[in-house]
Amino acid sequence: MRDIRISVEAATALDPIYLRQLREGPDQGTEECDSCGRPVDLDREPANVIVYKYPGVTNVMFAHVECAGSALVHSDDLSVRAQLEKVHVLPMVMGDVDFASLVIAPYFRARTSDFQSSAHIADWLEAGLHLILSITDLQHRPPDASGWRASFMPGDQAGQTRVTVRSGLYSPLGPTTVVNDVGIRVSEAWLDLVRTSGQVALLAGLTEIHKLPDRDPWNILRELAKAFEQGALTCGMADADWLGV
């Protein structure tokens, strides 16, 4: 069992089942220290739990025992939620029949209020994406994602394209912006696939593609495979439009 140390105050903010999962797994064993930024190997060294509670969001972080103590931190800063919802976007060409894809991954991981699942995965599934049930699904056209649309337009810099992805287009509550005007670099061939088909495949999951040093397809596929093994990879074919000028 892991040596996870948590204060009484921090423990009151977490679900008991989630606390047991922290100590016993099967979540990944390496996290980033909230204080020094170096890796914390939860399977090999003791770690303190720091719980941050923001409006509508609870975020769990870890720290080396010598870096910071376990604590419950409250904040009413609404801008923090926007930061927690920030995502990284990586374009790819996938499939046995080529189709343009966007890999979407949150920079920060947030749990649902009951701590039994990822808030991002829960939101994406509720909005119409589909859980990937087989790793071979990555090579096939995903099912349609109703109410999702990706909009592309030329960027401010040469060779740059900007993308915005929204879900819930047909929801009575109005659409939700999942990717907000993010700059990406894609080839003309990739853009031609989007323009010709009017669609783009979304692969949204709990990967760490933002930490990859390059766009090596094998490294990206390894990240997607790890997310799949954790039940944390969703997909869907979204409508796409090119707002060229």
Query: Residue 4 contacts by C-beta under 8 Å, 6 or more apart in sequence?
Result: 22, 23, 42, 46, 47, 49
Each residue of 177-206: pLDDT tens digit?
899 899 999 989 999 999 999 999 999 998
Q: What is the C-alpha to C-alpha distance for residues 50 and 53, in angstroms, rounded to an integer? A: 10
**Which residue, chain included where needed, has tokens 């109703």?**
146
Please give the average per-residue pLDDT across 52-69, as a whole number: 85
Length of the chain as a residue count = 245
Q: pTM of the predicted model, to two decimals? A: 0.68
At 10, list the tokens. 């921090």
pLDDT of residue 116: 46
Between the CA atoms of 31, 36, 38 and 42, what dihedral angle is there, to the nearest 10 degrees? -40
Q: Is the peptide bond before 26 cis (omega within 30 degrees of 0)?
A: yes
Q: Kindly list the domain boundaries of the chain, sorted by start residue.
A: 4-80, 86-242
Each residue of 131-168: pLDDT tens digit?
999 988 888 899 999 999 999 999 888 788 999 999 99
**Which residue, chain included where needed, has tokens 């190997």?**
41
